[in-house]
Amino acid sequence: MPELPEVETLCRQLHQKAAGAKILRATVYDEKLTGQESIRGCVIQDVRRCGKTIHLILNDGRSVLIHLRMTGRLFWRDKATKEPHTRWRMTTDCGNVDLIDPRRFATVKIEKTRGEKDDKDILLNFSMKPFLEKQAKRKVSVKILLMDPQAVSGIGNIYASEILYGARISPFRQAATISNSEWVRIFRHAKRILKKGVENRGTSISDWRDLFGCSGENQKQLKVYGQEGKTCRTCGSIIERVRQSGRSTYYCPLCQT
Ligand SMILES: [Zn+2]
């Protein structure tokens, strides 16, 4: 599932290819997606990310909002060859953007452009105060809280494990037991790790590919995720994996307390 760095990578690449492009047509190949034809003739003015949603800002006051969900991928195609599981294609005067999604959970919506800022996004306008006042007091584990889009935007299973290892905080601690200075530490590492993820064009553990079909490089940076049975680079303990709310959590039992 793409997380913040993967979506940011797509936004940057889309900006580079499609900003200023004119939309010639949008073609829907899946009946679950409708109402796209009205964007014909619009110009893409900007490409922005909001959490894990890609916003193509149009010149008529509307935006195309794309959310990839589980298995959605966006690809830039100079030629009009159509691959299996293509659900949507936007043809511009610069090239095609294809949405490919075997499980069909990805969404495309046309909405009025909203100007509000996302105060839950660590790489945009994250605001610590409302987080500490409300979210940090919840009775859930810190890892589950970091992955909750109501609390923090864009963090999924891979980056949550890496962030908590970086901050040396146990993923099983209740959020309410974490001190303000520990939260500051968690978000400092979150910022560093997510930025690194963007620089590396995402983490290709399974099938993540960027807009041009290339793998990311960030998997080489992972310290705990997928490292079960390997030694911790800090203390030499064995990295463990446990199931936590149905997902795998990777951690160092000695470093993270
Ligand atoms: Zn360790």
**Statement to judge: residues 9 and 70 lie in one domain:** yes
Task: Please identify every residue annotated as catalytic.
Answer: 2-3, 52, 247
- Domain end, chosen from 112, 137, 156, is at 112
Rounded CA separation 163/68 (Å): 23
**Statement to judge: residues 36 and 138 lie in one domain:** no
Distance 247 CA to ligand 1 centre (A): 21
The answer for 246, left when phi > 0, alpha when psi is -120 to 50, beta otherwise, is: left
**Statement to judge: residues 104 and 153 lie in one domain:** no
**Statement to judge: residues 31 and 81 lie in one domain:** yes
Cα separations in angstroms, 55 against 19, 29, 69, 82: 12, 21, 15, 23
Distance 239 CA to ligand 1 centre (A): 7
**Statement to judge: residues 211 and 184 lie in one domain:** yes
**Statement to judge: residues 97 and 150 lie in one domain:** no
Distance 157 CA to ligand 1 centre (A): 19
- What pLDDT score does 205 carry? 85
Q: Which residues of the chain have pLDDT under 50?
A: none
**Statement to judge: residues 108 and 135 lie in one domain:** no
Distance 17 CA to ligand 1 centre (A): 43
- What pLDDT score does 218 carry? 95
- Establish if 118 belongs to a structural domain: no
- Domain end, chosen from 112, 144, 167, is at 112
- What pLDDT score does 56 carry? 97
- What pLDDT score does 223 carry? 97
- What pLDDT score does 207 carry? 82
- Domain end, chosen from 69, 86, 112, is at 112
- What pLDDT score does 201 carry? 95
**Statement to judge: residues 81 and 20 lie in one domain:** yes
- What pLDDT score does 118 carry? 86
The tally of domains found in the chain comes to: 2
- Establish if 122 belongs to a structural domain: no
62 with 108: CB under 8 angstroms?
A: no
Distance 225 CA to ligand 1 centre (A): 13
Residue 158 belongs to a domain with what CATH number? 1.10.8.50
Residue 86 belongs to a domain with what CATH number? 3.20.190.10
36 with 26: CB under 8 angstroms?
A: yes
- Establish if 95 belongs to a structural domain: yes
- What pLDDT score does 78 carry? 84
Residues, CB-to-ion distance under 5 Å, ligand 1: 232, 234-235, 237, 252, 254-255
- Domain enclosing residue 155, as ranges: 128-251
- What pLDDT score does 137 carry? 96
**Statement to judge: residues 133 and 105 lie in one domain:** no
